[in-house]
Structure 1
Amino acid sequence: MTSCGADRGPRASAKPALSAAQARALLEAEFGLPASQVRPLPSYDDQNFHVRAPLAGGPAEFVLKISNAEASRTPELIDVQSRAVAFLHQAGFPTASVRPARGGGVAALVSVDCGSRTQSHLVRLLTFLPGRPVAEVPVGPRLLYEIGRLAATLDKTLEEFHHPQLSCLRREDFIWNLRNVPLLEPYLDALGPGPNREMVERVIRLFKNEVTAKLSHFRECINHGDLNDHNILVEPCEPASGDPAFRVSGILDFEDMSYGCYVFEVAIAIMYMMIESRDPVGVGGHVLAGFESVVPLTPAERGALFLLVCGRFCQSLVMAAHSCRLHPENAEYLMITAKTGWRHLQRMLALGRAAVEETWFRTARSYGSGDSV
């Protein structure tokens, strides 16, 4: 159990629902900034606003982040996450910087009138990062490799991060930690009967038998935990050929940070890079090659990669279905992965571990031999 409170389930039931006027008032009261523009941004279980504010050097852009009520009960965890973001920013990563609240902390705890009740939420102000989500651009092998390399470098750099309450990141019951795929079982009713539920039950069964028993053989580290195609921003760069080229310009959303394993991070990145790809199975080898250029996986870690990717598909698909029951008004955002995710998971299971791994590992080897594109 974590000393900062347990993560026993999804946080969507505690999602904030502030108006733009309330957000504007919070910005001025807690951060001393009058806003010239406030507009909502899509989010999963927190609430975000894009803010423009006049400063002495000219207008500046921020993200006002209102944490959900459940996460707001663990201010120590949010402080650790915010300090980690600042640490990575100083280390040269394209992460946001935090503008302190009037009280001097990284966040302010505020009470918000939600109509029928009052809820407490932690509020932070982060610098706005430029770029477009990976989901909106054509993704080729070069960018996939760089995303894999970024994932490994980020985890490696966090080995040097220290905080007096770092144990908060040991979120043993956190539903989104990749070790916790079996914790999906209480939420399977959201899928109803049918082939989708049967696929998830099959993955959970295999995961328990082939991954859970081997977790002690995986190298531990701090994971970002959600390097998805909407949390990585890119901007154009000089192409090596005639094709469009992009470089990473921003890393968003550290709310799923926790102690995990190196192989978890690459599995998560592979899964999300598959979502928009025309060759979903093929992307894994490029991401893996980039990751292993910094952190080569052990045989045990490589042997678990297929089921870890399948497990992340299940986490995303099951929890999206569950959250849609709670917040049907946010269904379009919640079901982004489901648009292609079920098809990709079905395809992976139909091909089988051996065929998928052969594709991934052959592509990864090609980088070492100089044959990559």
Structure 2
Amino acid sequence: DAAAATELAARLYGLDVVGGTIKELDSYDDRNFYFRARVPPSDTDDAKGDDANSDGAGAFHFVLKVHNGVESLALPFIEAQNQAMERVRGAGIWSPRALPSVRDAQIETAERALASGELRKHAVRLLPFRPARLLGDVAPSLELLRRLGSCAAAVTAALTGFEHPA
């Protein structure tokens, strides 16, 4: 829930969530929470200080991702996702990336109750969020389709040769 996500953002990432901004996003299996938060001054030059996710009023946009129980048992799979995002960014293409926690970890863990009440450790990541319109909400045009194809080709090229044991 929103209170638990706010607590995780503060405890794991040192973030001060702006009141009233946290919202759970639709997801198949994971729990994803969008929010705006203020970051400690020392972190504004770090990965959290990406101008692309700043709201212009001293806060930044984030998604806190609490992975499902199955993925949380397969950390190499999540590490592969992190490396793929970094590779895409390294090619000059904006992509979210796992931001460091207060312990400088890209993947944190938090104990959460399952529907049965059993406690289980879940992997947690913090990602920058870029507010934008969804592709499905935009009228298609030849220019939009051309740009979409160019972007897909650039991501494909960036990931060419990428391998991970997961």
User: Cα distance, 1:104 vs. partner?
Assistant: 2.0
Given that residues 35 and 61 in structure 2 are in contact (C-alpha distance below 8 angstroms), is that contact kept between their aligned partners in structure 1?
yes
User: Cα distance, 1:94 vs. partner?
Assistant: 2.1
| Higher RCO (C-alpha under 8 Å, 6+ residues apart) | 2
User: Cα distance, 1:149 vs. partner?
Assistant: 2.5
Partner Cα distance (1:61, 1:26) in 2: 16
Tell me the amino acid that sits aligned with residue 66 of structure 2.
I
2:84: which partner in 1? 84
Tell me the amino acid that sits aligned with residue 22 of structure 2.
V
CA root-mean-square deviation = 1.8
Question: Any residues of structure 2 matched to 1:272-283 within 5 Å, and which?
Answer: none
1:38: which partner in 2? 22
1:303: which partner in 2? none
1:68: which partner in 2? 68
Question: Any residues of structure 2 matched to 1:13-28 within 5 Å, and which?
Answer: 19-28=1-10
1:145: which partner in 2? 146
Partner Cα distance (1:87, 1:38) in 2: 29
Percent identical among aligned pairs is: 30
Given that residues 67 and 121 in structure 1 are in contact (C-alpha distance below 8 angstroms), is that contact kept between their aligned partners in structure 2?
yes
User: Cα distance, 1:161 vs. partner?
Assistant: 4.0
Partner Cα distance (1:49, 1:122) in 2: 14
Q: Is the counterpart of residue 53 in structure 1 residue 34 in structure 2?
A: no
Partner Cα distance (2:99, 2:154) in 1: 25
Partner Cα distance (1:43, 1:94) in 2: 22
User: Cα distance, 1:145 vs. partner?
Assistant: 2.4
TM-score scaled to structure 1, two decimals?
0.37
User: Cα distance, 1:160 vs. partner?
Assistant: 5.1
Q: Is the counterpart of residue 134 in structure 1 residue 135 in structure 2?
A: yes
2:157: which partner in 1? 156
* Deviations 1:159-191 (CA, angstroms, capped at 9, x unpaired): 2546xxx021xxxxxxxxxxxxxxxxxxxxxxx
Given that residues 95 and 129 in structure 1 are in contact (C-alpha distance below 8 angstroms), is that contact kept between their aligned partners in structure 2?
no
Question: Any residues of structure 2 matched to 1:107-186 within 5 Å, and which?
Answer: 107-114=107-114, 116-159=117-160, 161=162, 166-168=164-166
SS in 2 for 1:40: strand
Q: What are the ranges of 5 or more consecutive residues in structure 2 without an aligned counterpart?
A: 45-57
* Deviations 1:258-301 (CA, angstroms, capped at 9, x unpaired): xxxxxxxxxxxxxxxxxxxxxxxxxxxxxxxxxxxxxxxxxxxx
Out of 10, 14, 29, the residue aligned to residue 11 of structure 2 is 29
Given that residues 87 and 158 in structure 2 are in contact (C-alpha distance below 8 angstroms), is that contact kept between their aligned partners in structure 1?
no
Partner Cα distance (2:130, 2:156) in 1: 21
* Deviations 1:177-214 (CA, angstroms, capped at 9, x unpaired): xxxxxxxxxxxxxxxxxxxxxxxxxxxxxxxxxxxxxx
SS in 2 for 1:94: coil
Partner Cα distance (2:91, 2:157) in 1: 12
Larger Rg computed on CA atoms: 1
Given that residues 32 and 65 in structure 2 are in contact (C-alpha distance below 8 angstroms), is that contact kept between their aligned partners in structure 1?
yes
SS in 1 for 2:69: coil
1:313: which partner in 2? none
Tell me the amino acid that sits aligned with residue 11 of structure 2.
A
* Deviations 1:69-120 (CA, angstroms, capped at 9, x unpaired): 1111111110111121122123221211321122322110111124622122
Q: What are the ranges of 5 or more consecutive residues in structure 1 without an aligned counterpart?
A: 1-18, 169-373
SS in 2 for 1:124: strand
Question: Any residues of structure 2 matched to 1:294-313 within 5 Å, and which?
Answer: none
Partner Cα distance (2:71, 2:98) in 1: 18
Partner Cα distance (2:12, 2:125) in 1: 9
| Number of residue pairs aligned between Structure 1 and Structure 2 | 147
